[in-house]
Structure 1
Amino acid sequence: MKPETNDIGLSRRKMLLGLGAVGVASAGAGLGTTAYFNDTETFEGNTLTAGTLDMSVTANLVAADEYWSGQTDIPLSATADGQGVTAGLVVDDVKPGDWAIVCFDIEVGDNPGYVQVRTENFTETGGANPEPEQAVEGDADNDADLGEFLLASVWQSYDESGDKTGLSVLDPVFNNAPDATANASGITYSAPDVDGVASPDAHYTNAREADAQLNAGYLIKDNNGDLLAINDAANEGVYSFCLLLEIPFQVGNVIQGDTLSFDLVFETEQVRHNDDPFNNSASVNSAGN
């Protein structure tokens, strides 16, 4: 007879089965720990669209003397919008006393913009040299003089009067910079040359001085000389400035046969985040499509 014993007999097969059961239980407990609290929110349909800045410029000959008004290419009315205007102001046989006012209506769409005006290809020639001009300049000389004697001043408004009296408000920078000596001696820029006779007490900007202001780029400004943001809350819609071209009666024969030509270019840049439009901070003057 065998003695009693408390030992539990486990065969190798039984032990392996038992360990397997423990492993399954442990795996089940591990799956339970991955069920974290969670939540999801969604903002759908986000879209960013670039804005637009689009300018158009319309030129109109709003008033002129009888001769200029009778030219076949007058009255000028043309809009530059995406394409350049190649048929500009063309007048032959200009004489002392002739004058014309061309107004440029600038429209900047969708966003406010600063506008810069530039001249390009400013060219003068002596042209024909008849005897009356030789008597003034000398037989051997045939200088190009029209740019010196053709007056060109910029005005900020025109009231459709049909003559030069409709001009008001000289541009504050354009007409006050050309002649420092005249300004220092108290000569002022007064009313336009209504009678066609230049006053000896006033300086009138000539075409060469105008080109000197414009060829490096001239930014349009307000009455205080500050940059003008066209189409912002204070200056909505169309902005106009008018160019008065005239030859005073006193000029005489010195310009006979001379010619002058130039291109006028308008550019715009956005106002927002633009402290130095057209990078003009270093230029003398802080002055389609």
Structure 2
Amino acid sequence: MTGDRFELTRRKLLAGVGSVGLASAGAGLGTSALFSDTESFDDNSFTAGQLNMAVSVDIRNKSVELPDPAIESQLGPDDTADGNVVSITVSDLKPGDWFLLEWDPEVYFNSGHVQVTSVDEDYQNSEGDNPESETDTDAPGDLGDHLLTTVWGDFTPSGGIGDNRPGLHNLDPTTDNNDSGLSSYETPDVDGVTTSGAHYTTLNEAHEVYKTGVTVRDPTTGDPLVVGYDGDSATFYQLFELPIDVGNDVQGDSVTFTLRFDAEQARHNDNPFTSGA
């Protein structure tokens, strides 16, 4: 055996290595059916979102001798309407009296747009008893024609007892007949006109604007305001004032009205409170 030589050339070596590689590859192909893998997505659930609105109202200020306005709900004393009816009653209103309401609509769970409506079928002027002579004793009553009401964007009370109406800023154009852009409160005359030319609306005039619904808008862009849940506050202030020079015609008269607040989702809703929106 000493004369025998086992010759292993480079070519044969490479061929041998190649054979081993092919055998190894063949083993892999032959056993691939034994491997397996499973992925699953279980217990899938889709839930529709929610939108809820609650509206609070507070008496922020009033003239000194005006009896405190009363706020009541069907569930007892309350100042928040969340599916409940809340009523505000002001009695013994005299020339020179005024009071300021703060309205605060809040939208929960999703952001939304807010619309305010003076319900037409609930609006009523009533002629009351008057011991003094009047120039107009026919129904309806005259209070709605003389009681001024304006909507303001901001209020900074000065504190203490006194006239805080100068703390009102940014008159909303919906309650200014002249669309004057008045930035701060000015005392009106008996017709509701101020020194700068603003013309405050009477309650009757404001009702005519709001009875078809007014959407709360961004004061800068004019777009419908996005309220709640990563949105803005829709708080606004409503001033009622009876000019001091009003005569006897309003004695005993009363006016009743309903403000309704509606909310719609903001997402995918470029034209809120319109049909087909």
- TM-score when scaled to structure 1? 0.70
- Secondary structure at the residue paired with 1:250? coil
Per the alignment, do residues 89 and 158 of structure 1 end up closer, same or farther by CA in structure 2, a change over 3 Å counting?
same
What is the CA distance between 1:215 and its match in structure 2? 1.2
Q: Does 1:65 align with 2:63?
A: yes
- Secondary structure at the residue paired with 1:227? coil
Structure 2 partner of 1:191: 184
Instruction: Note if contact 1:59-1:77 (Cα within 8 Å) is conserved in structure 2.
Output: no
Per the alignment, do residues 72 and 246 of structure 1 end up closer, same or farther by CA in structure 2, a change over 3 Å counting?
closer
What is the CA–CA distance in structure 2 between the aligned matches of 1:50 and 1:74, rounded to whole Å? 35
Counterpart of 1:192, as a letter, is Y
What is the CA–CA distance in structure 1 between the aligned matches of 2:139 and 2:45, rounded to whole Å? 66
Per the alignment, do residues 195 and 175 of structure 1 end up closer, same or farther by CA in structure 2, a change over 3 Å counting?
closer
Find the structure with the greater CA-based Rg. 1
* 1:260-279 paired onto structure 2 within 5 Å: 260-279=255-274
- Secondary structure at the residue paired with 1:131? coil
What is the CA–CA distance in structure 1 between the aligned matches of 2:48 and 2:201, rounded to whole Å? 42
Per the alignment, do residues 234 and 80 of structure 1 end up closer, same or farther by CA in structure 2, a change over 3 Å counting?
closer
What is the CA distance between 1:56 and its match in structure 2? 0.9
- Secondary structure at the residue paired with 2:174? coil
* 1:198-237 paired onto structure 2 within 5 Å: 198=192, 199=194, 201-224=197-220, 225-231=222-228, 233-235=230-232
Measured against aligned partners, the alpha-carbon deviations of 1:64-93 in whole angstroms (never above 9, x if no partner) come to 00122x3372799601112222xx221222
Measured against aligned partners, the alpha-carbon deviations of 1:89-131 in whole angstroms (never above 9, x if no partner) come to 2122211100000001121112110001111201001211433
Instruction: Note if contact 2:69-2:91 (Cα within 8 Å) is conserved in structure 1.
Output: no
What is the CA distance between 1:39 and its match in structure 2? 5.9
Structure 2 partner of 1:45: 43
Structure 2 partner of 1:32: none
What is the CA distance between 1:248 and its match in structure 2? 0.9
What is the CA–CA distance in structure 2 between the aligned matches of 1:74 and 1:66, rounded to whole Å? 18
Structure 2 partner of 1:168: 169
- TM-score when scaled to structure 2? 0.73
Counterpart of 1:156, as a letter, is G
Q: Which runs of 5+ in 2 are unaligned?
A: 1-32
Structure 1 partner of 2:88: 89
Instruction: Note if contact 1:219-1:227 (Cα within 8 Å) is conserved in structure 2.
Output: yes
Counterpart of 2:206, as a letter, is A
Identity %: 38
- Secondary structure at the residue paired with 2:245? helix
Per the alignment, do residues 268 and 165 of structure 1 end up closer, same or farther by CA in structure 2, a change over 3 Å counting?
same
What is the CA–CA distance in structure 2 between the aligned matches of 1:155 and 1:122, rounded to whole Å? 22
Instruction: Note if contact 2:52-2:108 (Cα within 8 Å) is conserved in structure 1.
Output: yes
Measured against aligned partners, the alpha-carbon deviations of 1:142-172 in whole angstroms (never above 9, x if no partner) come to 652111110111111222335112211122x
Instruction: Note if contact 2:123-2:255 (Cα within 8 Å) is conserved in structure 1.
Output: yes
Per the alignment, do residues 124 and 141 of structure 1 end up closer, same or farther by CA in structure 2, a change over 3 Å counting?
closer
- Secondary structure at the residue paired with 1:46? coil
What is the CA–CA distance in structure 2 between the aligned matches of 1:160 and 1:262, rounded to whole Å? 27
What is the CA–CA distance in structure 1 between the aligned matches of 2:184 and 2:165, rounded to whole Å? 9
Q: Which runs of 5+ in 1 are unaligned?
A: 1-34, 283-289
